[in-house]
Amino acid sequence: MSWELSTEHLDFRATCKSFVDREVRPLVAEAEANKAFPVDLMKRFGAAGLLGLTTPEELGGSGNDSLAVAILSEELARASGGIAVTALVSAYMAGPHIARHGTAAQQERWVGALCDGEAIAAIAVTEPQAGSDVAGMTSTAKRTENGWVLNGRKMFITNAGLAGVIIVGARTSTDRHTGVTLFLVEKGTPGLAFGNPLSKMGWHSSDTREVLLDDVHVGADDVLGTEGRGFQQIMEGFQLERIALAGMGLGHAAESLDLAKAYTRDREAFGAPLNHLQTIRHKLAIMEIELDSARLMTHQSALRLDANHPEAFKTVAQAKYLAAIAANRIVDDAVQLFGGAGFVEETPVAMHYRDARILRIGGGTDEIQLEILTKGMAT
């Protein structure tokens, strides 16, 4: 047993870091101000091999592991939550559904393009009346002579305005858990429409919209996976998604901690740098303890997921919960240590503070992770 990253993972982290410093950081201020993802960046992610980490080599990926996704997520979120989530949703939250469950034709059409960053994917599960309660979705897919017709509304869909393909969950029968099926819906399909980008508290450069399905006809071969197994496929997909989101929490926390260490070293008050005060140094130490413990659990959850460990599901839920909460505490402490400067919108710690908040909600709220962990306790 080793608690250290392998040489390969350390090298991969260095690769991610230099990519982020070179390609991502210079774009962040403009992306935040314009509230728009710099779309050309997606191909550069692809060229650097950062979008196909968990995709098998024969499908155009690198057959790497979930720990690499956690490391990438951390390094990306250090620079920007909005940019990070755009890439991560396409590559590790939506895309893997096609790599895992797609037919040869679906894989041929999309998987290589997603790995290369030539196409962007989205996944549309949440509805205005059904978020945590995934099985409560009411969008419908009715069989036609040569396929299906989809109707309904999806809410808060990341990448909706950028995506070439959207994975849509819809009800093919009334049973809560065996009545959901996933479909591939291509951009431009008649009846597929979008709301305006939502103006959000954080993730400013990420595109989030309502998706409207009004008599959207798709073919019989646009079913993704097995009819009636959509709920199970979504739950499977949540595992890597939660590791990526936990990784993002680590990134916001790690960057904020570094910024707070530098600031308290340079800022003087009462005739000395802030970090000469024991109370300030202790706060920094506590922030680091919280970050390191969240990172350990996130990495353990990634290793357990790939090893099919019997407790992988539980560890992923614990990691998502812990990393999201730790990140929120750490970014809040960082803002506090910056004083008034931390409250100014363009300050990096203010961005991390805004971006970290969604991590306690998206991909399954804190409360849903606790539900997963306590299922069966009352019996």
Contact residues toward ligand FAD (CB under 6 A) are 89, 122-126, 131-132, 156-158, 200, 203, 208, 358, 361-365, 367-368, 371
At what angle are helices 348-356 and 312-338 packed, to 10 degrees? 150
Q: What is the 3-state secondary structure (H, E, C) of 32-94?
A: HHHCCCCCCHHHHHHHCCCCCCCCCHHHCCCCCCHHHHHHHHHHHHHHCHHHHHHHHHHHHHH
| Residue 146: strand, helix, or coil | coil
| Residue 213: strand, helix, or coil | strand
Minimum CB distance to ligand FAD smaller for 299 or for 357 = 357
With residue 253 as reference, give the H or E element that holds it: helix 230-266
Going 51 to 53 to 55 to 60, the CA torsion angle's sign is positive
Minimum CB distance to ligand FAD smaller for 5 or for 373 = 373
Give min distance, CB of 353 to ligand FAD, in A: 15
- The Cα-based distances of 112 to 47, 57, 65, 130 in angstroms read 12, 10, 18, 32
Give min distance, CB of 271 to ligand FAD, in A: 45
228 close to 172: Cβ distance less than 8 angstroms? yes
Rg (C-alpha) for the chain, rounded Å, is 21
Minimum CB distance to ligand FAD smaller for 15 or for 140 = 140
Q: What is the Cα–Cα distance from 106 to 129, expressed in whole angstroms?
A: 30
Minimum CB distance to ligand FAD smaller for 100 or for 320 = 320
Minimum CB distance to ligand FAD smaller for 141 or for 157 = 157
Give min distance, CB of 343 to ligand FAD, in A: 22
300 half-sphere exposure, CB direction, 13 A CA radius? 20
Residue nearest to ligand FAD (CB): 131
Give min distance, CB of 145 to ligand FAD, in A: 30
Give min distance, CB of 211 to ligand FAD, in A: 9
Give the number of other Cβ atoms within 10 Å of residue 139's Cβ.
22
Give min distance, CB of 24 to ligand FAD, in A: 19
Minimum CB distance to ligand FAD smaller for 48 or for 361 = 361
Minimum CB distance to ligand FAD smaller for 11 or for 133 = 133
Give min distance, CB of 131 to ligand FAD, in A: 2
Minimum CB distance to ligand FAD smaller for 106 or for 208 = 208
Give min distance, CB of 100 to ligand FAD, in A: 17
